[in-house]
Chain A
Amino acid sequence: MSELTSTTALRATMDAYYRSLADAALRKTAPVAWCTSVGPAELLRALGFAVHFPENHAAIMGAARTANRYLPLAHAQGYSQDICSYLTSDIGAYLAGESPLEAYGLERAPAPDVLVFNTNQCRDVRDWFEWYGRELGVPVLGLHSPRAIDDVTESDIDAVTMQLEALVAPLEQVAGTRLDDARLRAAMRASRDTAGLWGACLETASARPAPLTFFDGSVHMGPAVVLRGSDDAPAYYRTLLAELEQRVENRVGAVPAETLRLYWDGMPVWGRLRALSTMFAEFRTAVVASTYCNSWAFSGLDPAEPWRSVARALLELFIARSEAPKERYIARMVEFYDVDGVIFHDCRTCSNNSNTRYGMPGRITERLGIPTLVLDGDVNDLRCFSDEQARTNIEGFVEQLTDARAATSARGSR
C-alpha cells in the first residue's frame, strides 16, 4: 500500500487548524465555540469563532489508542459504559487534565466560550455538551433536530431554519459582534466547495482499482469535518482530488491487486484503523466506500439561501433518516461503487451509527442479493473489539465472496 502524497498537505492543513485553535484559546485571538460534527459550523465561522469539534478530539484519542485510559474516569462519574465512547473518552481526558492537542500547547481541550450542539445525529452530543456547560459555566445552545425522518419535508426544514435563526442573537452576544451577511455567504461558499470536492474525491473510488479506501478516507476527511466554512478545506481537497484522478488515470489502486470490493457502514474502529487497512489489503480487498466518510459530502448548500439550505443539508444526512431512506441510500452506494459485499460495523457504544439492530443487514441481502457481514466493535473502546474474532469474521467473509465468484466463473466457463 502506498501512502497518498497529499498526506503531507493534509498534515500541514490540520496542523494550521490546531494552531489557530490553540492561539484562540491561549492568546484570545478569537472566541472559541465547540460544535458537534454536523452542527451549524458555517454560522459559527461567520461570527468569527475558532471552532473546536469534540468528536474530532475524541477520534484522535481513539486513533492514538489512549481513549481506554480515560474511559473509566467518565464511567466513574455515572456516564455508562454503554453510551458514546467519544463522550466518555473526551470527558475522561478532561478529568485527567490531558488532551491529544498537548503538542499545540493545550493541556486540555481549548476552553470554550459557548457550546453548540445539533441532535440530528444523537442525544449523546447534547448530554456531552451539557456536562461541560455545568463544569465550565458556559452557555449551551443547540438545534433540536427531528430524527428518523422518512422524506425531509418543508415543515422539518422550517423548524430547523427557525432554530438556526434563533441561535444568532445569543451567539452574537458571546462573539461580541453582529453577524455579517457577506461573511455568512463566504462561509457557505467554502462549505459548499468543500462538500463538493470531498464528494468528488470519494467518488473516484468507483474506479477499478479504487485509488483510495474507507481507511484512507477516514483520515483525509479531517478538513471536511473541522474546516467547514473555511477556504483552507477546499484548497486541500483540490490537491487530494488531483492526486486521486491521477491515480485513476494511471490505474494505481490503494490496495495492490484489488480483487474484491466492499462497502463499510458504521463508524471506524479508530484504534484498529491501520491494522484493518493492512488486513484487508492482505486479502486483496478494497473497502471502497462508506456511509461514514460520505456523511460530510453535504448536498445542496447554497450561499444564496444560507438558512434553509443548511437546515435541509443537516436534515438530509443519513444518520438523521429512517430505515427506508437509509436502505435506499446503501442500495445506491452498492450499485455506484459496484461492491461485492457490505460490512456493517455494530459499534457497541453508538446505536445511532449502528444500522444492525433493526434487521437492516438481512433486508439488504434480501433486497440486493448481496452478502453482508456484521462486525462487532466500537469506535473508541477497544475492550469491545476482539482482534481474533474480527479477523476470523473478515477472513471468512472474504473466503465466502471469493468462493462465490469462483463458482460463478466456473459456471460461466462451462
Chain B
Amino acid sequence: MNYYAGVDSGSWTTKAAVIDGEGHVLGTAVTRSGADLTAAAERAYEMVLANSGRTRADIEAVWSTGFGRNTIPFADGSRTELDCHGRGVAHYIKGPLVVVDIGGQDAKVIRLDAAGHRLSHRMNRKCAAGTGSFLDEIALRLGIDIGDLNALGRGATENLELSSFCTVFAGTELLTLIRSGKRPADLAMAAYRSLVKRIVAMDVLEGRIAPTGGVVAYHPIMVELIGAACRGEVVVPPHPQEIGAFGAALAALAACETQDIADTSDTAELVQP
C-alpha cells in the first residue's frame, strides 16, 4: 500500500495529513507555525507520521500548500491553498459548492462546479478583518483565552453590533461597550456576527456551503451564524482545520497516479503535466 502526505503551512498554524491510496485519512497533526515555517513543517510532518503509525520511507510523495508552501524542502510539489481546500472539500461533499475558508490571517471563498473543478475564488483584501486574527484580538480585549470565546458567546442574550470594519478599532469599540456595562457574552457574540458580516460580503453565498479552517474548527458558533446569514445548506467537512493538508495529500496522490499513467501509456502526450 502506498501512502501520501500533505503539509499546509499557514500563517498561524501548520497542519499535516497522511492518506492511503484511496484517500482515507490515517492521521492529522496541527502545530503553531511561529517564525520558522520550515521547522514547523518538519515538526508537523513528524507528528503526523507518529499519529498515523508510518515512517518517512512509507510515504510515496509529500505535497505542500498554504502561505509557506515554498519553504518546505522535503515537499515533492506544491499547490495553492485555494486548490487544496477545494480539492479536500470536494472529496467529501458533492458539488457544486462554495468553500468558505476562514484562516488565521486571511479568508477565501472558493466556488467549485459539480465535478469539483474550481470556477473562481476571492480572497479578503489586505486586512485582518474577517479572519481568525479578529477573534484573537477580541479575546485579548475581553481578557479570556481564545479557546473559551465560543462558550462565552453561547451565553449571549442581547443583540449587540460592532460597527467598525477595522480589527484594531473594533477592539477599541469593545472597550467602550465594556465601560458602558455590556456583558462579555453579548460582546463575544457581537464579534462573531461582525466576522460573519465580512465573510458574507466577499461573494454571494448560496447553494451548498462548506466552511473550513481553524476558525470553523474551534468556533462552531460560526457555522450556525454563516447558516443563518446565507441562503443555502451548510455542510462542514471532516477535519475542517486540516482540510488543506488533506487536499495537498490528495494532490500528491493525483500527481503520482498521473505520473504512473504517463510512464505506461502509449499516448502520454495526451496527459497534461
CA separation between A386 and B122, bound complex, in Å?
Answer: 15
Instruction: Output the least CB separation between B78 and chain A (Å).
Output: 9
With CB as the reference atom, state the residue of chain B lying closest to A385: B126
Q: Judge if B121 is at the interface, Cβ distance under 8 Å.
A: yes
Partner of B80, one of A395, A404, A413: A395
Contact B120 A365, beta carbon cutoff 8 Å:
yes
* Size of interface on A: residues with Cβ below 8 Å to B: 26
CA separation between A409 and B122, bound complex, in Å?
Answer: 26
Instruction: Output the least CB separation between B252 and chain A (Å).
Output: 15
Contacts of A365 in B (CB 8 A): 120
The CB with the most chain B CB atoms within 10 A, among A374, A384, A385, is that of A374
Contact B121 A407, beta carbon cutoff 8 Å:
no
Q: List which B9-24 residues lie within 8 A (CB) of chain A.
A: none
Q: Judge if B57 is at the interface, Cβ distance under 8 Å.
A: no
Contact A409 B270, beta carbon cutoff 8 Å:
yes
Partner of A392, one of B119, B123, B125, B272: B123
Contacts of A384 in B (CB 8 A): 126
Partner of B83, one of A396, A404, A405: A396
Q: Judge if A403 is at the interface, Cβ distance under 8 Å.
A: yes
Q: Judge if B35 is at the interface, Cβ distance under 8 Å.
A: no
Contact A389 B123, beta carbon cutoff 8 Å:
yes
User: Number of contact residues on B: which range applies?
Assistant: 20 to 34
Instruction: Output the least CB separation between B42 and chain A (Å).
Output: 21
Contact A403 B126, beta carbon cutoff 8 Å:
no
Contact B117 A392, beta carbon cutoff 8 Å:
no
Contacts of B120 in A (CB 8 A): 365, 371-372, 400
Contacts of B267 in A (CB 8 A): 413
Contacts of B123 in A (CB 8 A): 389, 392-393
CA separation between A195 and B200, bound complex, in Å?
Answer: 45
15 further interface pairs, Cβ-Cβ under 8 Å (given A365-B120, A385-B126, A396-B118): A386-B126, A389-B106, A392-B81, A396-B80, A396-B81, A396-B82, A396-B121, A397-B121, A399-B79, A399-B118, A400-B82, A400-B119, A400-B120, A407-B117, A409-B270
Q: Which residues of B contact A (CB under 8 A)?
A: 67, 79-83, 106, 115, 117-123, 125-126, 267, 270, 272
Q: Which residues of A contact B (CB under 8 A)?
A: 365, 371-372, 374, 376, 384-386, 388-389, 392-393, 395-397, 399-400, 402-407, 409-410, 413
Query: 16 pairs across A/B with beta carbons < 8 Å?
Result: A376-B125, A376-B126, A386-B126, A389-B123, A393-B123, A396-B80, A396-B118, A396-B121, A399-B80, A399-B118, A400-B119, A400-B120, A400-B121, A402-B272, A404-B117, A406-B272
